[in-house]
């Protein structure tokens, strides 16, 4: 297992729906609403708590979108930090059980 692995999981306190390639996410704690673009949606959907973020970026982002790996990893970490701050994603350096169905 690589050092400094980040694991991400979707929080149970959210409602999410995909529409026209974008993900609509609402936090039930404070009713804040987010729309995720295609790349962010790919990360959100892959947030199973078991797959390291680095692997998600390599396989799901760089594999499908024309993005440089280093830049994609930096963007993904910033995105994950932002969404975890709003209670949408859970972040850990150990595998997590995803709360969302």
Site string for other proteins, 15-54 (x = CB under 8 A): xxx-xxxx-x-xxxxxx-x-x-------------------
Q: Which is nearer to other proteins, 22 or 55 (CB)?
A: 22
Give min distance, CB of 88 to other proteins, in A. Answer: 12
Q: Which is nearer to other proteins, 22 or 77 (CB)?
A: 22
List, as own/partner pairs, every contact residues 40-47 make where C-beta atoms lie below 8 angstroms and the sequence separation is at least 24, other chains included. Answer: 40/79, 43/8, 43/76, 43/79, 43/80, 44/10, 44/16, 44/83, 44/88, 44/89, 47/8, 47/9, 47/10, 47/89, 47/98
- The reply on whether position 13 binds other proteins by CB under 8 A is yes
């Amino acid at each position: 297992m690589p050092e400094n692995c980040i694991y991400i999981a979707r929080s149970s306190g959210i409602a999410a729906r995909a529409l026209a390639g974008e993900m609509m996410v609402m936090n039930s704690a404070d009713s804040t609403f987010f729309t995720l673009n295609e790349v962010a949606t790919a990360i959100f959907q892959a947030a199973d708590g078991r797959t390291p973020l680095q692997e998600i970026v390599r396989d799901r982002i760089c594999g499908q979108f024309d993005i440089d790996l280093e830049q994609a990893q930096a963007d993904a970490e910033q995105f994950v930090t932002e969404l975890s701050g709003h209670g949408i994603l859970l972040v850990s350096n150990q595998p997590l059980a995803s709360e969302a169905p």
